[in-house]
Chain A
Amino acid sequence: MAIVKFTYALEKFFPGIRAIPANGNTLREVLNEVEAKYPKIQNYLLDDQGKLRDHVNIFIDGNLINDRAGLSDAFSPNSEIYIIQALSGG
């Protein structure tokens, strides 16, 4: 079962957010599980068209995903899926 971890920055919007296990076979399915656990979080991670927001990144086992629109990057049941914010100034 893959583990989904979150940047601390999401704590402000989702108090108490913690890493969760996910059963999904695709990133899209995993994010649907995350949404079920933390309602509205997909609006924070994905834009209106379901694409990963420009300043949000997802790493799978330390590697940045390639398919930000289709979310088709593969992972294994032991993978660590890490959702972070891109760093920016101001």
Chain B
Amino acid sequence: MHFRRIVKFISSRRCREVNPKNFYMKSTMLLGTRKGFIAYHSEKGRWKVENLSFEGEPVSIAYADARSGTWWAALDHGHWGVKLHRSNDRGKSWEETTAPAYPQGEEIKDGVKAYTRYIWSIANGGKSYQSRLWIGTDPGGLFVSEDAGNNFELVRSLWDHPSRKQNWFGGGRDQPGIHSVVVDPRKEDHVFIGISCAGVFETEDAGKTWNVRNKGLRADFLPDPQSNVGHDPHILVAAPTDPDVLWQQNHCGIFRSIDGAKTWQDISEPEGPARFGFGIAVADDNPDQAWVCPANSDTTRTAIKGALCICRTDDGGKSWKILRNGLPQENCFDIVYRHALASSGDAVAFGSTTGNLFFSADRGESWQTLNNYLPMVYSLQFAD
């Protein structure tokens, strides 16, 4: 067989059978930090900084759209408001686009005007909608673009949801915020969002109508912990190999659903470290495997007993393994923000509030420090 034909044959077999690309470690890490956008690239097993952009500016989310390779930087200028930039050349040059904006007259509450205070999540709309992009914001508005991010429109049905003004409130930020947008790869009009504080909402028609999906969650901070709305999912993710399996690190524990968020089960360790935290990551190839970054309770928000650990479950949350090898075990104050933990193949990485960046090539069994001197890390994403 001719060499090119052999390569094509092997490639096509791989795509059809297991699509192994999904299980390989992606070679880029994008970091959104308090002082800039930082891209690391792995070459021959060594991670090096490939790009630093927007030095000095807070980057709430650094995001790579896997469909196009476009990098996005959501900036949170202290003085000048929220801005959105994109790059099609891996950060060599950037173009400012029009950030999501609330229509004239919109209010968070009666008498409180709405404007985009923070971009808290970016997600592409999937392969069926190549130009669709979702953005979640503080103060609770979800925006969608159907032209590859040139223009964004407020998703009116969610903004006008009868629960919003009465039952949504701030959690982690002063106003309600959408920090998670999870697109179902099997039917890309099917989307889950996570709101702090409101909970998990689901649309099956690309945002025309919404279902509340909080059954089984517990909001210990509310007068009624089983309230329909008012929960605080710190982050919501779906298992890539089974999108009906959803996980959330919640303010009140770790919860998992195996029925597409119709019901949630508490899978926290009652007395163990895998309970309170912010980030959660699910394995590319196993819907039962996930990692969390435990922190002390919400009263201190520090590393537990001054020592940093990651917890991994391999059985859907029935049990958790504590992973400490290579992580600081004394005088440590690091915690990990909700978007700053990610996995890719066998790799797991996280950035901390005190500017440490840790990497594991073996699913968390051992860790190496990539940097001790970064700014506070807000987001981390693996990318090609």
> Chain A interface (Cβ within 8 Å of chain B)?
9, 13, 40, 43-45, 47-51, 53, 55-56, 85-86, 88, 90
By beta carbon, the residue of chain A nearest B81 is A53
Whether B102 and A49, one on each chain, are in contact in the complex, defined by CB atoms closer than 8 angstroms, is: yes
Whether A40 and B79, one on each chain, are in contact in the complex, defined by CB atoms closer than 8 angstroms, is: no
Whether B102 and A9, one on each chain, are in contact in the complex, defined by CB atoms closer than 8 angstroms, is: no
**Interchain CB contact (< 8 A) of B81 among A9, A43, A88, A90:** A43
B300 is an interface residue with CB less than 8 A from chain A = no
Whether A48 and B79, one on each chain, are in contact in the complex, defined by CB atoms closer than 8 angstroms, is: no
Specify the main secondary structure of chain B where it touches its partner. Answer: loop
Within 8 A of A (CB), among B81-105: 81, 83, 96, 98-99, 101-105
Whether B81 and A49, one on each chain, are in contact in the complex, defined by CB atoms closer than 8 angstroms, is: no
Whether B80 and A56, one on each chain, are in contact in the complex, defined by CB atoms closer than 8 angstroms, is: yes
> Chain B interface (Cβ within 8 Å of chain A)?
77-81, 83, 96, 98-99, 101-106, 113-116
Contacts of A50 in B (CB 8 A): 104
Smallest CB–CB gap between B30 and chain A, Å?
22
Whether B81 and A47, one on each chain, are in contact in the complex, defined by CB atoms closer than 8 angstroms, is: yes
Alpha-carbon distance between A53 and B79 when the two chains are bound, in angstroms: 7
Alpha-carbon distance between A51 and B113 when the two chains are bound, in angstroms: 10
Smallest CB–CB gap between B37 and chain A, Å?
15
Alpha-carbon distance between A9 and B105 when the two chains are bound, in angstroms: 30
Alpha-carbon distance between A17 and B135 when the two chains are bound, in angstroms: 31
Interface centre among A44, A47, A50 (most CB of B within 10 A): A47
Contacts of B113 in A (CB 8 A): 47-49, 51
Task: Kindly list the 7 A-B residue pairs having the minimum CB-CB distance in the complex, ordered from nearest.
Answer: A48-B115, A47-B115, A44-B80, A55-B79, A48-B101, A85-B79, A48-B102
Alpha-carbon distance between A62 and B98 when the two chains are bound, in angstroms: 33
Whether A40 and B115, one on each chain, are in contact in the complex, defined by CB atoms closer than 8 angstroms, is: no
Smallest CB–CB gap between A40 and chain B, Å?
7
Contacts of B102 in A (CB 8 A): 48-49
Contacts of B79 in A (CB 8 A): 9, 53, 55-56, 85-86, 88
**Interchain CB contact (< 8 A) of A49 among B77, B78, B114:** B114
Whether A43 and B99, one on each chain, are in contact in the complex, defined by CB atoms closer than 8 angstroms, is: yes
Whether B104 and A13, one on each chain, are in contact in the complex, defined by CB atoms closer than 8 angstroms, is: no
Whether B80 and A48, one on each chain, are in contact in the complex, defined by CB atoms closer than 8 angstroms, is: no
Contacts of B83 in A (CB 8 A): 43
11 A-B residue contacts at CB 8 Å?
A13-B80, A40-B96, A43-B80, A43-B98, A44-B77, A47-B115, A48-B102, A48-B104, A48-B113, A48-B114, A53-B80
Whether B115 and A44, one on each chain, are in contact in the complex, defined by CB atoms closer than 8 angstroms, is: no
By beta carbon, the residue of chain B nearest A41 is B80
Smallest CB–CB gap between A32 and chain B, Å?
16
Contacts of B105 in A (CB 8 A): 49
Contacts of A45 in B (CB 8 A): 80
Contacts of A90 in B (CB 8 A): 78
New A-B pairs, 13, CB < 8 Å, besides A44-B77, A49-B113, A53-B79: A43-B80, A45-B80, A47-B115, A48-B103, A48-B113, A48-B114, A48-B116, A51-B113, A53-B80, A55-B78, A56-B80, A85-B79, A86-B79
Contacts of A55 in B (CB 8 A): 78-79
By beta carbon, the residue of chain A nearest B102 is A48
Alpha-carbon distance between A9 and B79 when the two chains are bound, in angstroms: 10
Alpha-carbon distance between A90 and B56 when the two chains are bound, in angstroms: 10
Alpha-carbon distance between A87 and B171 when the two chains are bound, in angstroms: 27
Smallest CB–CB gap between B62 and chain A, Å?
19
Smallest CB–CB gap between B268 and chain A, Å?
34
Contacts of B96 in A (CB 8 A): 40
Alpha-carbon distance between A44 and B57 when the two chains are bound, in angstroms: 14
By beta carbon, the residue of chain A nearest B100 is A48
Smallest CB–CB gap between B188 and chain A, Å?
28
By beta carbon, the residue of chain B nearest A50 is B104
Smallest CB–CB gap between B35 and chain A, Å?
10
Interface centre among B80, B99, B101, B103 (most CB of A within 10 A): B80
